[in-house]
Amino acid sequence: MMGIAQTVLVEIVRGHGQLAVLATLSDKPRGDVVKAVQRLKRRGLVAAVEPGLYAATEAGRAFVQAGHAVASGQGVKPRRRTRGLRQRAWWVLRVRGVVTIPDLLMTLADGAERDAHANLSKYLHALCRAGFVAEIGRSAGAAPTSNGHKRYKLVRNNGRQAPVVRQRQRTVFDPNSGDCFDLGGGRAP
Amino acid sequence: MKHVFVKTENHRRFLASVAMLENRGSVERCLLPVKGKPGVGKTRVVDNWGSAVDAVFIEGIPGMSLRYLKDALKAETGVKERTGFAEFQALTEFFRNDGHPRPIILDECQHGFPNKAEVIEYLRRLAEKAGTILVLVCHTSESYLLDKYDHIKTRIGCVCELLPPSLDDATLFMREQCEVDIDAALIAEVHKQSGARYRLIADALANLERIAAKLGKPSLALADVHGLPLCQDWERALKAAPAKRAAAHAGHGARHGEAK
C-alpha cells in the first residue's frame, strides 16, 4: 500500500500536477494532498510551476523510475547540535588549554550522563597515550587523603572535531587531519 | 565534593537570554553581552552552553587587533582564504553552517574596543551575515564600553547580567556538590562568609567536608562549626587593609602626640 506522498509523486510524474486533480486521483482531502506536495517539495522531488500546479523534478522522476518509495527518515539529516560528552570535553580542553577531570565534570556533567567520570577518565587517558594531551602533575584534592587530580595539557590541537578513540583498533582517529594515532603514541600505519 | 554542573538561576538567566536572541525579529540585533562580577560563574555557564552548541570561542587579549582576530578565527575555523573578501565570505559560510548557525563567543571582550572597536565590529558583521549570535563576555566594571559606540549598542538584542547567588541558589549549589548533609543555618552562614561568590562557596564546602571527616559525622549543623572561618575572602581583606592601616596610623599619631 502506497502512502499519500508516494501516490501524489507518481501522479505528478505522470503529468497530473494540479492540486484538485491530485486530490481526486488519490481520493484524499485536498489539505492532505497539499501537505504531501510540500513534503515532496522540501525533498526536491517536485517543484511549483505556478500556484496550485506542480511538476516533477529530475530527481523526482529518477526517484520513481528507480522504484523508491517515499518514507520518513530518507532525507538529509540535519547536523545535530547537542554533542556527546567527549566532544564537549574536547571543546573545553581547547578553550582552557589545561584541565582536570573535576573541572570538566563541573562544567559539563549535569548528572544525566552515565558515569561521566569514568568516560572522561578513559578518554583523557587514551588522548594522553596517543600524544594529544600530556599529564603535567596534579592539583590538590579536597579530601584530606586525596592524591589530587591529574592535570592534562593540550599538546596537539588539530582542530574543532574531537579525536575518536577506536578501542578495537587500539588507535585514536583525528577527524581534523584524517590521521590515526596508535595508543602507543606514534602515528598508526 | 561531588563534581557536577549545577543549573543555577544564572544558567537559566543565560539560556533565557539566548532564547530571546534566537527568536529575535531583526537579524542585526545579534549581540548578547554577558556581564557579571568575578566569581559569579560566567566562565562555567558560557563554557557549558558553548560546548553544547559548538560555538567558536575567541579569547580577547590586551592589544588585540583586527589582524589578530582574523588569524584566531582562521585557526579556529580552518578557513584558508587569504584575501579580505574571500576570507570574509568563507568565514560567513562557516558560521552559517548549512542553516544551523554556529554562535561566536568573545571572552574578555573589553580588549576588542581599541581602534573604534574594530574587532567587535568585524565580529558583529560576521554574526549578522551568518544569522548567528555574538556573545560578548566581560566583567561588570568593563560593560560601560558597550555603551560607547552607537553602532554597537543599537545592535544589542539582550543584556544578560549574571548575579551573585541568592540564598536559594547557594542552597542548591551546596546540596548538589557537598558530600555531607548541611543544615539550612550552616548554608546561610557559608553564604554570608563567602560574600555570595561560588568560588568561595566551593572553598567552604571543601573545608566542611574535612571538618565532617574529622568529627566522623555524615552531616553538619551550624553548631559544629560555630565561630570557624570557612573560607577566606581576600578581596574583603584587601579592602579592609587601608582602613586598618589608617586606624593604626591614627593610633600611632595619637600616642606620639601624648608622648610630646
| Contact criterion met (CB below 8 Å) for B95 and B118 | no
- Which residues in chain B touch residue A82, judged by CB atoms under 8 angstroms apart? 52
**pTM, whole model, 2 decimals?**
0.73
Q: For residues A98 and A151, give the distance between their C-alpha atoms in angstroms, rounded to a whole number.
A: 7
- Which residues in chain A touch residue B98, judged by CB atoms under 8 angstroms apart? 79
Residue A161: pLDDT over 80: yes
Q: For residues B148 and B71, give the distance between their C-alpha atoms in angstroms, rounded to a whole number.
A: 26
| Contact criterion met (CB below 8 Å) for B163 and B198 | no
Query: In chain A, which residue's Cα lies nearest the Cα of B179?
Result: A143
Give tens-digit pLDDT for A21-54: 999 988 889 899 999 998 888 888 898 888 888 9
Residue B117's contacts (CB-CB under 8 Å, 6 or more residues apart) are B145, B148, B149, B152
Q: What is the ipTM of this complex?
A: 0.84
| Contact criterion met (CB below 8 Å) for A177 and A158 | yes
Q: Is the dihedral of CA B68, B70, B76, B82 positive or negative?
A: negative
| Contact criterion met (CB below 8 Å) for A126 and A136 | no
Task: Look at residue B257 in the predicted model and tell me its pLDDT.
Answer: 53
Q: How far is CA A78 from the centre of its chain?
A: 8
User: Under an 8 A CB cutoff, do B5 and A142 touch?
Assistant: no
Residue A148's contacts (CB-CB under 8 Å, 6 or more residues apart) are A138, A139, A140, A141
Q: For residues B30 and B201, give the distance between their C-alpha atoms in angstroms, rounded to a whole number.
A: 34
Q: For residues B140 and A184, give the distance between their C-alpha atoms in angstroms, rounded to a whole number.
A: 47
User: Under an 8 A CB cutoff, do A105 and B99 touch?
Assistant: no
Q: Which helix (H) or strand (E) holds B105?
A: strand B104-107
Q: For residues B56 and B155, give the distance between their C-alpha atoms in angstroms, rounded to a whole number.
A: 20
Query: In chain B, which residue's Cα lies nearest the Cα of A83?
Result: B52
Task: List the single residue in B1, B47, B99 with the smallest CB-CB distance to A107.
Answer: B47
Give tens-digit pLDDT for A70-99: 887 665 543 333 458 999 999 999 999 999
The residue type at B71: D
| Contact criterion met (CB below 8 Å) for A126 and A172 | yes
Q: For residues B97 and A121, give the distance between their C-alpha atoms in angstroms, rounded to a whole number.
A: 31
Of residues B105 and A138, which shows the higher confidence score?
A: B105
Number of H helices, E strands in chain B: 10, 7
Percent of the residues in chain A that have a pLDDT greater than 70, as a whole number: 90
What angle separates helix B84-96 from helix B114-130, to the nearest 10 degrees? Answer: 50
User: Under an 8 A CB cutoff, do A142 and B59 touch?
Assistant: no
Residue A189: pLDDT over 60: no
Task: Look at residue B68 in the predicted model and tell me its pLDDT.
Answer: 93
Task: Look at residue A129 in the predicted model and tell me its pLDDT.
Answer: 92
Can you give the pLDDT of all 260 residues of chain B as single tens digits?
888 899 999 999 999 999 998 888 888 889 999 999 888 889 899 999 999 999 999 999 999 999 999 999 999 888 888 888 889 999 999 998 878 899 999 999 999 888 889 999 999 999 999 999 999 999 888 888 888 888 888 899 899 999 999 999 999 999 988 888 998 999 999 998 888 888 889 889 888 988 998 888 888 888 888 888 888 777 766 766 666 666 666 666 555 555 44
A window 30-59, beta carbon within 8 A of B: none
Q: Cell numbers at residue A79, please? A: 547536523
Q: Helix H segments across A27-158?
A: 30-42, 58-65, 85-96, 101-108, 116-130
Give tens-digit pLDDT for A94-134: 999 999 999 999 999 988 888 899 999 999 999 999 999 99
Q: Which helix (H) or strand (E) holds B213?
A: helix B198-215
Task: Look at residue B144 in the predicted model and tell me its pLDDT.
Answer: 86
- Which residues in chain A touch residue B206, judged by CB atoms under 8 angstroms apart? 142
- By DSSP bridging, strand A164-166 and strand A149-154 are unpaired
B window 83-142, beta carbon within 8 A of A: 97-100
Query: In chain A, which residue's Cα lies nearest the Cα of B5?
Result: A106
Task: List the single residue in A87, A106, A142 with the smallest CB-CB distance to B44.
Answer: A106
Task: Look at residue B187 in the predicted model and tell me its pLDDT.
Answer: 92
The residue type at A107: T
* Distance spanning both ends of chain B, measured CA to CA: 59
Task: Look at residue A105 in the predicted model and tell me its pLDDT.
Answer: 94
Task: Identify the three-state secondary structure at position B162.
Answer: strand
User: Under an 8 A CB cutoff, do B78 and A160 touch?
Assistant: yes
User: Under an 8 A CB cutoff, do A110 and B5 touch?
Assistant: yes
**Alpha-carbon distance values, B24 to A81, A175, B132 (Å):** 20, 35, 11
Task: Look at residue A78 in the predicted model and tell me its pLDDT.
Answer: 37
Task: Look at residue A51 in the predicted model and tell me its pLDDT.
Answer: 82
Task: Identify the three-state secondary structure at position B126.
Answer: helix
| Contact criterion met (CB below 8 Å) for B96 and B130 | yes
Mean pLDDT, all residues of chain A? 85
Query: In chain B, which residue's Cα lies nearest the Cα of A101?
Result: B3
Task: Look at residue A85 in the predicted model and tell me its pLDDT.
Answer: 92
Given strand A98-99, what is the order of strands in its sheet?
A98-99, A149-154, A133-139
Task: Look at residue A151 in the predicted model and tell me its pLDDT.
Answer: 94
Q: For residues A93 and B12, give the distance between their C-alpha atoms in angstroms, rounded to a whole number.
A: 24
User: Under an 8 A CB cutoff, do B48 and A107 touch?
Assistant: yes
